[in-house]
Amino acid sequence: MTPKEKNYWLETVEAPQILVRELPESVDVVVIGAGFTGLSAARTLAKRGAKVAVLEAENVGWGASCRNGGMVLTGLKLGAPELIARYGREATKRMYAASLESIDSVEAIVREENIDCNFSRCGHLEVACKPKHFDGFRRGAETIEREFGHKLRIVEKADLPGEIGSPIYHGGMVDGVSAGVNPARYVAGLGSAAARSGAEIHEKTRVLGLERQTQNVGSGWKVTTSRGRLHAGNVLVATSGYTSQVTRSLQKKIVPIGSFIIVTEALPEALAHELSPCNRMIYDSKRYLYYYRLTPDRRMLFGGRAAFFPENRNTVRESAQILREGMIEVYPQLRQTKVEYVWGGTLDFAFDIMPHAGKMDDMYYSVGYAGHGVAMATSLGQKIAEAILTGHDKNPFARIPFPGAPLGLYNGKPWFLPFAGAWYKFLDWVS
């Protein structure tokens, strides 16, 4: 059976009904991108009385916001010891606290807006692919508890069957604060919530140009789109892996990377329980990692960096076979199980593998979630909205450096991704 090249999550949700209307002549804030970041910011801004227009080149949630695994994760891509060595204890403490707060932000919105999206505080499990990785788990857990007061549970190899029905790992680490969600339902609900709050959402409205207005014609921005022009007092760029040349300075600091997912047929209840007894969000310790979980209807969702290049028909098809082989390596029990869906999406990494949110070229932005976007994008959208409203940016990621490529050898087109993928595979082999 050939899997459908279609996003499984979209089979479970109706798109929000967005009123088609003319562009306004002028707004307080233009938000570019109707994903988690943009919609969260728009909701916050509109609730505080700002006039907001969200401009989306496709449809609400079209990008990474509905194409991901629905993992609402604590922490950051880098481990606590590395973060402390790079930024110091106090800065790392603020950033780690922000990651924990981000889970609460998602839960609060789901509850306040009554979004039916299968949100569940099921926790996440990170599994060690090598004994050395498990030793790193111990050190990381000790650092996090000592420095940040947050306790993680170390799972010895002998105890792993209580967490995962796979024999290939060398131990694990559980954080019970993390959650799971149906991302398509969540982003659709977030879009409806932003619209109810008063934000105007304009789909199929691609931003073509941004021009800073001189004092002679009024402060703010002239925004040129595929459907006309409007004036905005402020601009928030919330485009992540789909950032374009319209915001050239930001594009040169962000690397779009493909991530791909397969979803199986629905599994028998006993088999699903064997594979994931606690129904965790699971990912492994490799750089070239796999991540996987059960969906609410007991399918196995299995994803990873099967190809570093952003999604297209060829990379999606190639990834389907790569991921199926990876899934069977983890779970031999699924060898005869049919894969029914495959799709890809584009997420964004900064060169330092950190989230970044703040102001650049007089525009606000929030990008660089590196696979932690469901929670962090929601929270940083709120924080950037507060910064626009008050002039005070309390988000800790605005205080860290935002590096570009070494020697300036990057123009926004990721020519080096095949080499990066090979390098990461090599590092996984030798680590």
What confidence tens digit (pLDDT) does each residue in 354-386 have?
Answer: 999 999 999 999 999 988 999 999 999 999 999
Res. 427 pLDDT band, cuts 50 70 90 = very low
Residue 421 included in any domain? no
**Rounded to two decimals, what is the model's pTM?**
0.93
User: Which one has a higher pLDDT value, 232 or 4?
Assistant: 232
Domain total for the chain?
1
Q: Does residue 419 register a pLDDT over 50?
A: no
Query: Which range has the worst mean pLDDT, 95-99, 111-115, 350-354?
Result: 350-354
Query: Which range has the worst mean pLDDT, 39-48, 141-150, 198-207, 284-293?
Result: 284-293
Residue 431 included in any domain? no
Q: Does residue 431 register a pLDDT over 80?
A: no
Summarize the confidence of residues 28-53 as an average pLDDT: 98
Summarize the confidence of residues 81-98 as an average pLDDT: 96
Question: Which CATH number covers residue 233?
Answer: 3.50.50.60
Q: What residues have CB less than 8 Å from 159, skipping those under 6 apart?
A: none
Q: Is 376 exposed, middle or buried (0-12, 13-18, 19+ CB in 10 A)?
A: buried
Summarize the confidence of residues 134-156 as an average pLDDT: 96
Give the range of the structural domain holding residue 160, as residue numbers without chain letter: 8-408
Listed residue (27, 93, 22) closest to 388, CA to CA: 27
Task: Quote the pLDDT of residue 423.
Answer: 44
Residue 390 included in any domain? yes
Q: Does residue 305 register a pLDDT over 90?
A: no
Q: Does residue 90 register a pLDDT over 90?
A: yes
Q: Does residue 237 register a pLDDT over 50?
A: yes
Report the chain's mean pLDDT, rounded to a whole number: 92
Residue 242 included in any domain? yes
Summarize the confidence of residues 272-300 as an average pLDDT: 96
User: Which one has a higher pLDDT value, 342 or 287?
Assistant: 342
Percent of the residues in the chain that have a pLDDT greater than 70, as a whole number: 92
Res. 309 pLDDT band, cuts 50 70 90 = low
Residue 1 included in any domain? no
Task: Quote the pLDDT of residue 426.
Answer: 42
Summarize the confidence of residues 403-414 as an average pLDDT: 75
Summarize the confidence of residues 243-260 as an average pLDDT: 91
Give the pLDDT confidence of 161-175 residue by residue, as tens digits. Answer: 999 999 999 999 999
Residue 418 included in any domain? no
Task: Quote the pLDDT of residue 307.
Answer: 55
Task: Quote the pLDDT of residue 169.
Answer: 98
Residue 47 included in any domain? yes
Task: Quote the pLDDT of residue 319.
Answer: 85
Task: Quote the pLDDT of residue 17.
Answer: 77
3-state SS track over the chain: CCCECCCHHHHHCCCCCCCCCCCCCEEEEEEECCCHHHHHHHHHHHHCCCCEEEECCCCCCCCHHHHCCCEECCCCCCCHHHHHHHHCHHHHHHHHHHHHHHHHHHHHHHHHCCCCCCCECCCEEEECCCHHHHHHHHHHHHHHHHHHCCCCEEECHHHHHHCCCCCCCCCEEEECCCEECCHHHHHHHHHHHHHHCCCEEECCCCEEEEEECCHHHCCCEEEEECCEEEEEEEEEECCHHHCCHHHHHHHCCEEEEEEEEEEEEECCHHHHHHHCCCCCEEEECCCCCEEEEECCCCEEEEEECCCCCCCCHHHHHHHHHHHHHHHHHHCHHHCCCCEEEEEEEEEEEECCCCCEEEEECCEEEEECCCCCHHHHHHHHHHHHHHHHHHCCCCCHHHHCCCCCCHHHCCCCCCCCHHHHHHHHHHHHHHC
Summarize the confidence of residues 111-125 as an average pLDDT: 98
Residue 424 included in any domain? no
Summarize the confidence of residues 30-43 as an average pLDDT: 98
Task: Quote the pLDDT of residue 211.
Answer: 96
